[in-house]
Structure formats: C-alpha cells, structure tokens
Amino acid sequence: MNSPNYRLLIFASGSGTNFIALHQSCVKGELPARICALICDRKKAGALDYAREQQIPHHVIPPSDFESESAYIRHLESVVDREAPDLILLAGYLKKIPDRIVDRYAGKIINIHPSLLPKYGGRGWYGMRVHRAVIQNGERISGSTVHYVNKVYDDGPVIARSKVEVLPEDTPETLAEKIKAMEHRLYPEVVGRLLNNQSH
C-alpha cells in the first residue's frame, strides 16, 4: 500500500510521553506519518532526551534566548516553515503559539488538554493544577480533550473527548496517571482519523 508519509511536527515542553506515544504509532506503521521534528522551548526536557535517543530532529527554541519577542516569533516561524508540517501537534507545550503561526497554519494545529474542556481550561490551567482542582471539586468524571488551536488558550473547536471515572480513592497523581494512559491511545487515534480524512 502506498500510504502518504505525512509530516508531523511536535511541540513539547515536558516529559514528552504523548510525543513518545505518537512517535511509536508512526514507527509501528499505525499512522501513515512520521515525526519530522520536535520543537521544545526548554533546554532540558524528557521530550528532548527521547528525541536525541531516537535521532529525531529537534529544535530548542527558548523565547528568552532572543532579543525581542518579534525576533523569537520570526525564528520560530522560519523553523516551522522549513519543517513543512502537515499537522502541528502540541503535546504538553506550555508556551502560547504566536498568532502569526496560528493564522498561517489555521486548521493544522492540534492540542491535547487533560480535562473535559471547557472545564479546567484556559490560561494557567495545565498539568497537576487541573487534576488537583478536579479532585478538590469532587468531580466524578474527568478526561482529556483534543482540539484545534486558535488564538485563545484551550478554546478552539473540539475534535474529540475521552472520559475517565474519578474514583473516591483517586489522588491528583493517580488521576493524572490514568488520564495520561488514556491520552496515549486517544491522541494517535485522533491524528490517524484526521490524516485519513486528508487523504480522501
């Protein structure tokens, strides 16, 4: 079968377990795609270690390394353009994607967020903060949302949501673990669906 080799550009800031799940889906041939590169805003991150180990091209682009915001944005944009991605996948990327890039790649930038948006989404809602609030508020259901990225944090059209039950004995840590395990299936699945639609 002559499946198209779509180019996925990943943005990650942290441990990179979703990036790893996406990469493994490509390697196993479950996605008709390859990871063209990783962009990381930090000099140290689990995602970067994995990219180095697997020899995946990676670009470390900390905004603070640039003289100005506009120099940073110009550089980031030129790197993204050179990678010519079919999809840009945010996987735990904590910086906001500059508006110029959102405009240029409209409909091609996807994010995964560890709550059932619009709940627990928006500026400042990330990682353990989300899971702590979910437990504190006595929610019975949480989960993860895959959505298109627009110019507002966690606000773009929802593509898919997947739920997990919050059990009375759950802690923020156990909830985070359950949600991540689910995300590692959800994200590749949704990306696969999007790519298969593109090829029709």
Q: Which stretch binds ligand GRF (CB under 6 A): 58-66, 77-85, 107-115, 192-200?
A: 107-115
Q: Does the footprint of ligand GRF cover residue 18 (CB under 6 A)?
A: yes
Sign of CA dihedral 79, 83, 86, 90: negative
How many residues are given for the chain?
200
> Residue 123's CB: how many other CB atoms inside 10 A?
9
Q: Is 121 in the site for ligand GRF (CB under 6 A)?
A: no
For ligand GRF, give the closer residue by CB, 98 or 145: 145
Query: Catalytic residue numbers?
Result: 113
Number of residues that bind ligand GRF (CB under 6 A): 15
Candidates 6, 10, 17, 131; binder of ligand GRF (CB under 6 A) is 17
Distance (Å, rounded) from C-alpha 48 to C-alpha 177?
21
Positions in 21-40 near ligand GRF (CB under 6 A): none
- Shortest reach from residue 80's CB to ligand GRF, in Å: 19
Sequence-separated (6 or more) residues with CB below 8 Å from residue 193: none
Q: How far is the CB of 197 from ligand GRF (least distance, A)?
A: 23
180 contacts ligand GRF (rule: CB under 6 A): yes
If the CB atoms of residues 25 and 82 are measured against ligand GRF, the closer one turns out to be 25
Residue 94 · residue 23 · CB < 8 Å:
no
Q: Does 131 bind ligand GRF (CB under 6 A)?
A: no
Structure tokens at 172: 């923020």
- Sole window of 29-37, 52-60, 65-73, 106-114 interacting with ligand GRF (rule: CB under 6 A): 106-114
User: Buried b / exposed e across 66-88, counting CB within 10 Å, b at 16+?
Assistant: eeeeeebbeebeeebeebebbbb
Q: How far is the CB of 19 from ligand GRF (least distance, A)?
A: 6
Cα(34)–Cα(57) distance, integer angstroms: 11
142 in contact with ligand GRF (CB under 6 A): no
Residue type, 164: V
Q: Which two tokens stand for residue 137?
A: 């508020």
* Contact positions vs ligand GRF (CB under 6 A): 12, 14-19, 91-92, 112-114, 144, 180, 183
